[in-house]
């Protein structure tokens, strides 16, 4: 499958605009591409109790999984302080990396972007070496 990184980054930027971040003011957007070509977007959603907060990447993955998707081709992630147009390179947190390991192959591209013209692409395996996933529980 051909992955249009620039388009996926643009979708992540659009998703970031829906972030609910009254505490950290750091907004993140993610765009998850399925192997069938559908894009699921997610933003971070904070909570006053902090722990019930959810990251953009997990929001996108959970939306996709809840609609029956199980095969993913790539994910793009962008982040910035609220009200700022300059995006900071924002890699997925450890919890998001573990959730990705549950549903995504270790060779899936993870696009960490400042803009559609300025980004790096790494595999999930590079971001989560020696990961623990479903294969570890099968004999």
Residue carrying structure tokens 């907004």:
27
Find the Cα–Cα–Cα–Cα dihedral 93, 99, 103, 106, rounded to 10°: 40
Catalytic residue of the set 57, 67, 69, 102? 57
Residue 57 annotated among the catalytic residues of the structure = yes
Catalytic center residues: 57
């Amino acid at each position: 499958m051909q992955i249009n990184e620039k388009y996926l980054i643009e979708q992540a930027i659009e998703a970031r605009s829906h972030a609910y971040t009254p505490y950290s003011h750091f907004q993140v957007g993610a765009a998850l591409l399925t192997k069938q070509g559908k894009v699921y977007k997610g933003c971070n959603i904070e909570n006053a109790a902090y722990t019930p907060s959810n990251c953009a990447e997990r929001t996108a993955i959970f939306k996709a999984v809840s609609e029956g998707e199980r095969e993913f081709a790539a994910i793009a992630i962008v982040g910035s302080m609220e009200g700022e147009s300059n995006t900071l390179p924002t890699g997925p947190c450890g919890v998001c990396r573990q959730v990705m390991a549950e549903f995504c192959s270790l060779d899936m591209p993870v696009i960490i972007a400042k803009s559609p013209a300025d980004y790096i692409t790494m595999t999930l395996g590079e971001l989560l070496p020696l990961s623990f996933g479903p294969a570890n529980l099968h004999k």
